[in-house]
Structures are given as structure tokens and as C-alpha cells.
Amino acid sequence: MGEQTLGTIGEFELINKVVAGLTQHDAVLVGPGDDTAIIDLHKAPVLITVDVLVEGRHFRRDWSTAIEIGQKAAAASLADIAAMGATATALVVGFVAPPDLPAVWASGCTAGMAQEAATVGASIVGGDVSAGEQIVLSVTAIAPAPKTPVLRSGAHVGDQVAIAGRLGWSAAGLAVLSKGFRSPRALVNAHRTPQPPYLAGPAACAAGATAMIDVSDGLIADARHIAQASNVLIAIDPRRLRIDAEVAQAATAYNLDPLLWVLTGGEDHALLATFPAQALIPADFTVIGTVEKPGDDGPGVSVGGIFDRSRGGHQHFGS
Amino acid sequence: MGEQTLGTIGEFELINKVVAGLTQHDAVLVGPGDDTAIIDLHKAPVLITVDVLVEGRHFRRDWSTAIEIGQKAAAASLADIAAMGATATALVVGFVAPPDLPAVWASGCTAGMAQEAATVGASIVGGDVSAGEQIVLSVTAIAPAPKTPVLRSGAHVGDQVAIAGRLGWSAAGLAVLSKGFRSPRALVNAHRTPQPPYLAGPAACAAGATAMIDVSDGLIADARHIAQASNVLIAIDPRRLRIDAEVAQAATAYNLDPLLWVLTGGEDHALLATFPAQALIPADFTVIGTVEKPGDDGPGVSVGGIFDRSRGGHQHFGS
């Protein structure tokens, strides 16, 4: 008897296998198995976000395990919720895969998602599966909105700009993997399974953050999103950006400026926030700049006083 | 200058194009453009469901327009919400497509989704896009839960079984298209753009429906889901199933029993519900059977007194 695949076990057995491994939390009034799930949000409005990961674009099966890919897929959506100052309650998952995919890969991937969700107390409450040519993971996360959700549009001139979490690690790990290496492991693992600072999101909200964003496209690109939504200049002082030794060493080995990875590398899911000048900034955050009035160049990002004119950000359809 | 594709306009311009065409309703406190959307559910718990549609499996670009495919994708999720007795408020969309896809196709498809959502007063409030080998549409719908959501598990012995909406039309339309024909148009259109009886869902809930399901896999297959969740026998009287003239004529032309399409055809998104014996059944519904105590065969479905032993239901990974 060969290895079980999605084609041999079929849709319903796959769903049964996955659902059997899930734990549901108190907020889940109705979990998987009905036309919809029902989640108690304690009378708050709902935050909702979706992220899609595509095999060969966002992950490779020869670079990461199924569990790691599941963790990474969930992290993208969970980090979006954190960036509003909230904590995710539930995920629903769209899962597309070729029929010859080993069934253990599918259950490993959803187990990875559930594991990542559990780090913030969230559950997988539903999903849909279909056959397709390549693996596509679509993860929707919901959360009860906090009293004052932190949008991108609230940064004010005079605010402090601060970052929580890692920068440049995932980009360095991707560079290592792209050259065919599997070490340094810390960098490779950072690319495989990002470590978003989930708790820093609600902490920033409680501390009065005026704007916040999940750094998924790169520090400059995502800072620009705050700048444009808030009509301000985000002035980053590069001397205040921490360049971790692991990232610096890899950059040296590849004859690159590590600042490139720190400023433009995405997928670490750091949180970039702005705080009023007098705010007590939570311990997870490091101040890296200030919010200024836009100059002749309009709203945008400056690094070391120089306005950034790069197109910036990962272009998913770009050549 | 050639036709614009997703590759030439890029991710951000695609999102701008799509978002510019969207209308947001009052319940949308924050729409597209931030890390998450924020939706007012009027203090109710949230219903959440996701459906994925894959090109070549659920739709073909040579059979349907972009708008029709968008309508169909949204209908699948909106019908799941209706089957709980609720009305959807918001959709988020994961959109995967090859870079050479014409940009007008992508904006047409999302316009179709928005149009279908608008029929129940819902908006598209967010999304994510990525390049991939084939088109994948992942649509998540949310709604405020009604006071007594209608689950699959509440059917009682003695209840009446009733159906709202069409049966067999989409299957007949698929058969027509599969043979290379484009008419009868009414059947072909039923396959391209299902017409779920959205209002019948909340009406059934208000009338005291004990169980309900969206018929997406076929009447028998979905009745079996209610039967198993409720531990009952769903006894369908085939003489009470309406066989529409269009469906009957196509079946005759193909030398088939039209009852096959009515009993096993999916994708029309009819609503199957059970009601207490004394309930006043809403006008949209037709009684087609009764809920009985399971016999030796256990919970399941009988048609004309004969227990159905078919595996039933569309198997997305099946051969």
C-alpha cells in the first residue's frame, strides 16, 4: 500500500482528520462542521483580514516542513490583527492542493496553523478544501476590535516612531536558502517561521499608539503606508536601527550592506508604530525615528534625512 | 500598447482599481486599506465561513464571464450564511491569478463578487492578491449571528423537511456546457450564476426552523449532513420534488432521469430546512418529506422509502 494522498483519502476524510486534531476555545460557540462557525466577540465589532500564500512564491516544500509552512501562513494573518492592537480569536482556512499531495503534508500544515494560532489563544474554526494545480493557503483571521483600534492613518507630527520585533532576519534567511545553504540555522528558521511580536500589538494600543502596521513588505514600504495614510513624513534614523549580529555576519559573507535587508526585507512581521511624544513606550518597542511634517516631496519616508524614492515593497505580480 | 495584465499594472494598482469600484455600507467602520477591516455586528456573535473556487474545477473562463465567476464565488459563501438564518455583512477575498491575466478580468471578477454581495446588502471589505499558476478565489463571509442560529444538528423526529430554491438547474446547465452547447440559456445561466434564495434563510429562522443547510453538494448529500448531525432519518418523498420543465426537457434530450439531477446536482445553493410539524412554513419553502427515527441503517436519507447508500456528494479530490 502506497502513501496516502488527498486523492486516495478524499475530501471528507481529509476534513475529518484535520478537524479531529483541532482544539476549540471558549469563544467558539460553533466550530467546524456546520455551514458557518459562530464566534463570541463579547459584543465588540469584528476585525477581519485575509492573507494568501502560494507554493513557489511564498514557500517551497523543499525548504520548509509542512508544519513550518502552516505556521508561516497563520502568522501573516495573526500579525495583521496584532497591528490593529488586538489578539486574534479564530481562523478559517481555504486549502487548495494537488490530489497527489501526501495526506500527512496537509494535516501537518493545518497542525502548524493551529499551533501558531494557539500561541495567541486562537483556534481554526472552519475551512474549505479543493483540488488545484499548486498549493494555495488562504487564511482569514478575526478578532474582537479593541476600544480604540490602531489604524495606519493616526500618526501626528511630533510622534515617536518605534519598532517591535525583528528586521532583516527573514530576508537574510531567504538569501541563504536561495544560495542552496541550510545554515546559519537561526536565519533560515526566521524565514521558515517568522516570530511576530504578537503581544506588542495590544501593548502599543494600550500605550496610546497613534498608528501601527505589520511590516510584511519591508520597513520602508510599510512606513510609507503609514506616511501616506496619515499625510506625514516618517523620518527614520538608521543609527537607531538594531542590526543583529546574525544578519550582519550573513551580509558580510555575501558582501552586502545589512541595512538593505533591515530596510527592505519583509516577512519578519515586525510591528511599526507611532506614539505621542510623551507616551510611555512599551518595552517591546525601540524608537527609530520621528514623525515630521511632509516637505516638498509630500508624505513618505526619509532615512537619515534622505527622502526615499524607491518604488519599495514586494510586487507579487512584478517581473 | 498591449492589453494590461496583472503583471504590467502590478499588485498595488490592481488593488487600487478594485477598491475604487467598491461601495461600503454603514456597518463597515473601516474598509479596505488598513491591516484589517472593522465591521459593526451590533453586539452579536460573528458567523464566519470560507469557500474556495479553483479555475478548471469550479469554473471555466471560456464558459463564463469574469463577472459571472465573481458572482458565483460570492454566492457560495453568502448561501452558507443564509443557511444559518442570517444575512451576510461583509466579504474578504483571497485572489490568486497568473501574471498574464488581463487586468479587466480581475476587476470584472471582483465587481461580480461585489454585485452579488450587494443583493443582500454586503460589501467586500478587504482582500489579498498573489500571483499563482491558476486562478483561485477564496471568499470569506461574515454576518452577525441571529438570536437562534439554525444549525445542522437540530432536526427532530416528526419535523417537516422543506426546500427553498432550485434543484437540478446547475447540474443540467453543466451537462449542456460539457457537451459543447450554450443553450438552453436558462440552464446554462443557472450553472454560471446560481440564484440562492438568500431571504429564505432568515425567514426559515424566524419561522422556527430546527435545522438548515446550503445544498451545495446535492440534495441527498446535504440532507445526509443534517441526518448525521441530528441523528435522524430524512425521508424524502420524490413525488413532492418539483422538477422544473427546463430541467425535465434537458434530461429527456440526454436520455436521463431528471430526478438524478434534482437529487444529486449541487451548486444551485437551494436551502434545505426542517420545521416543527405545527410550524407555519415560509412561502419560499416546499415540503418534500419528514424527519423520522433512524432504522437499522442508522441516520441517513431515504428517497421514496428506500435508504440511500450512495457515497454521495462531490469529492473534490476524487478520481
Question: B218: Cβ–Cβ under 8 A, 6 or more apart, which residues?
Answer: B263, B264, B265, B266, B312, B313, B314
Q: Is B152 on the interface with A (CB under 8 A)?
A: yes
Amino acid sitting at position A258: P
| pLDDT of A43 over the 70 cut | yes
Q: Do B35 and A49 touch (CB under 8 A)?
A: yes
What is the per-residue pLDDT for B261? 96
CA B178 to chain centre: 21
Tell me the mean pLDDT in the region B277-304. Answer: 97
Q: Residue B239: name the closest of B287, B307, B299, B291 by CA.
A: B287
B130 to chain A: which residues are within 8 Å by CB?
A: 52-54, 57-58, 316
Strand partners, A95: A129, A137
Burial level of A67, CB count in 10 A (0-12/13-18/19+)?
Answer: buried
Query: Which backbone phi and psi does B124 adopt, to 5 degrees?
Result: -85, 120
Cβ contact B140–A50 (<8 Å): yes
Assess contact for B112 and B74: CB atoms under 8 A: yes
Is B183 an interface residue toward A (CB < 8 Å)? no
Band of residue A315 on the pLDDT scale cut at 50, 70, 90: low
Question: Can you tell me which residue has the cell 502506497?
Answer: A2
Helix, strand or coil for residue A270? Answer: strand
Average pLDDT over residues A9-15: 89
The pLDDT value recorded for residue B319 is 41
Q: Is B149 on the interface with A (CB under 8 A)?
A: yes
Average pLDDT along chain A: 95
Hey, of A12, A18, A34, which one would you mutate to test binding to chain B, going by the most B CBs within 10 A of its CB? A34
The predicted structure's pLDDT at residue A280: 96
With b for 16 or more beta-carbon neighbours within 10 A and e for fewer, the A223-254 pattern comes to bbbbbbbbebbbbbeeeebebbebbbebbeee
- pLDDT, residue B313, reads 55
For A89-93, what is the mean pLDDT? 98
**Which string of DSSP letters, residue by residue, matches B173-235?**
HHHHHHTT---SHHHHHHHHS----TTHHHHHHHTT-SEEEEESS-HHHHHHHHHHHHT-EEE
Q: Is the four-CA dihedral A33, B304, B268, B275 of positive or negative sign?
A: negative
Selection from B58, B64, B127 nearest residue B95 by Cα: B127
Question: Does the pLDDT value for residue A75 go beyond 50?
Answer: yes
Mean pLDDT over A132-141 rounds to 98
- Distances in Å between the Cα of A102 and the Cα atoms of A8, A92, A106, A134 are 9, 22, 7, 13
Q: Is B145 on the interface with A (CB under 8 A)?
A: yes
Interval A168-222: pLDDT, tens:
999 999 999 999 999 999 999 999 999 999 999 999 999 999 999 999 999 999 9
3-state secondary structure of B136: strand
pLDDT at B34: 96
In the structure grid, which three cell numbers stand for residue B27, read together? Answer: 456597518
Residue A228 pLDDT exceeds 60: yes
- What local confidence, expressed as pLDDT, does residue B11 receive? 87
Contacts 24+ apart (CB under 8 A), B17-26: B17/B103, B17/B107, B18/B106, B18/B107, B18/B110, B18/B127, B21/B107, B21/B110, B21/B111, B21/B114, B22/B114, B22/B123, B22/B124, B23/B114, B23/B118, B23/B123, B24/B123, B24/B125, B25/B89, B25/B121, B25/B122, B25/B123
Closest A-chain CA to B311: A12
Decide if A131 and B90 are in contact by the 8 Å CB cutoff.
no
Strand B90-97 relative to strand B123-131: parallel, antiparallel, unpaired? parallel
Q: CB distance from B28 to chain A under 8 Å? A: no
Query: For the complex shown, is ipTM > 0.85?
Result: yes
- How far is residue A249 from each of residues A51, A169, A199, A245, measured CA to CA in Å? 32, 11, 29, 6
pLDDT digits (tens, 9 = 90+) for B243-254: 999 999 999 999
* CB contact (8 A) between residue A129 and residue B52: yes
Residue A12 has pLDDT above 50, yes or no: yes
The verdict on whether omega for the bond into residue B184 sits within 30 degrees of 0, i.e. cis, is yes
B94/A51 touch (CB, cutoff 8 Å), yes or no: yes
Share the mean pLDDT of chain B: 95
Element (H, E) at A162: strand A160-164
Q: Which residues of B touch A35 (CB under 8 A)?
A: 49, 80-81, 83-84, 152, 212-214
* Chain B touched by A26 (CB under 8 Å): no
| Alpha carbon distance A146, A87 (integer Å) | 9
The mean pLDDT of A13-18, rounded to a whole number, is 90
Rounded distance, CA A285 to CA B272, Å?
53
Per-state percent for chain A, helix, strand, coil, to nearest 5: 35, 25, 40
Query: Which residues are paired to A312 by β-bridges?
Result: none
Instruction: Go through B85-101 and write b for each residue having 16 or more CB atoms within 10 A of its CB, e for each that does not.
Output: bbbbbbbbbbbbbeeeb
Residue B99 forms contact with A (CB below 8 Å) = yes
Taking residues B258-277, report their average pLDDT. Answer: 96
A112, pLDDT greater than 50: yes
Q: Cell numbers at residue B305, please? A: 422509502
User: Residue B79: what residue type?
Assistant: A
In this complex, is the C-beta atom of B230 within 8 Å of any C-beta atom belonging to chain A? no
- Give pTM, 2 decimals: 0.96
Q: Are A37 and B48 in contact (CB under 8 A)?
A: yes
Q: Percent of chain B scored above 70 by pLDDT? A: 97
Instruction: Give yes or no for residue B312 having a pLDDT over 60.
Output: no
pLDDT of A312 > 70? The answer is: no
The string of pLDDT tens digits covering residues B98-142 is: 999 999 999 999 999 999 999 999 999 999 999 999 999 999 999
The answer on pLDDT for A318 being more than 70 is no
Which percentage of chain A shows pLDDT scores above 70? 97
pLDDT of A235-261, one tens digit each? Answer: 999 999 999 999 999 999 999 999 999
